[in-house]
Structure 1
Amino acid sequence: MSAETSPLDDKNEVTLVGKVSATPQVRELPSGDSIVSVRVIVKRKGARPRPNSPTIDTIDCGAWTGRAKKTLERFQPGDVVEVTGALRRRFQRIDGGAISRYEVEVSGAKRLLKAA
């Protein structure tokens, strides 16, 4: 291990494999940049901790770079995909104040299985 790395170094890496829930959305930002967003449904594995607990997670994913945006735009609802990136906390202003949410900032993505 080099002097520059340590097993205690911070790491923010996410890999999701799941189904696309809906058609990807393209949003234009006030800066003129655009973002492509998609939601990925991921099944929870393992025993349910209590009755009626959720069996899936729906995770927001957003792409800011050209290649990742083009890939996400081609996804269709029901496609099984792999998305890699980093978890980011985003803040937004709404009428009642500010809210925060988490999303995966996509650095790479690929379709594993096309929807039927």
Structure 2
Amino acid sequence: MTDENNRVHLTGRVSGVPESKVLPSGDEVVSFRLVVRRSAAARRRSKQVVDTIECSVWRAALRRSVLRLEPGSAVTVAGALRRRFVSGGAGVMSFVSVDVDTCRKVSATAVASDP
């Protein structure tokens, strides 16, 4: 049984080259940012037209696939939202990212159209 309460589906463009990191635990993760266009209704409330979402890929086969994506690639991802914490010079900060379960390339027109 899967928990569908925390499930997101996003379509957008990869903003840069995906990066692979080995964590102190020995786990490997590939991260990339997805630029997602806001809906027309959301753009009426804000001047911001896109959101940039951090995405993390943990499964080995999917990591290899995502590492081949190029900046500007149009993709659809599905996964779960996660709140992450990082410490730095300004103290502990948190942000939300998507733990990606699936990622597939789509046509550029899929990204350009408003929902």
Q: TM-score, normalised by structure 1?
A: 0.82
Tell me by how many angstroms 1:10 deviates.
6.7
Task: Say yes or no: does 1:101 pair with 2:103.
Answer: no
2:20 paired residue among 26, 46, 58: 26
2:50 paired residue among 43, 56, 70: 56
CA deviations on 1:40-87 (whole Å, 9 max, x unpaired) are 11111114334x610001111000111221221111101100111000
Structure with greater Cα Rg: 1
Tell me by how many angstroms 1:95 deviates.
2.6
Partner of 2:76: 82
Tell me by how many angstroms 1:103 deviates.
0.3
Partner of 2:29: 35
Contact 1:24/1:37 (8 A) holds in 2:
yes
Give runs of ≥4 in structure 1 deviating > 3 Å: none
Tell me by how many angstroms 1:16 deviates.
0.7
**RMSD of the TM alignment (CA)?**
2.0
Q: Distance in 2 between matches of 1:113 and 1:77?
A: 14
Could you tell me which runs of 5 or more consecutive residues in structure 1 were left unpaired when the two chains were aligned. none
Question: How many percent identity over aligned positions?
Answer: 40
Q: TM-score, normalised by structure 2?
A: 0.83
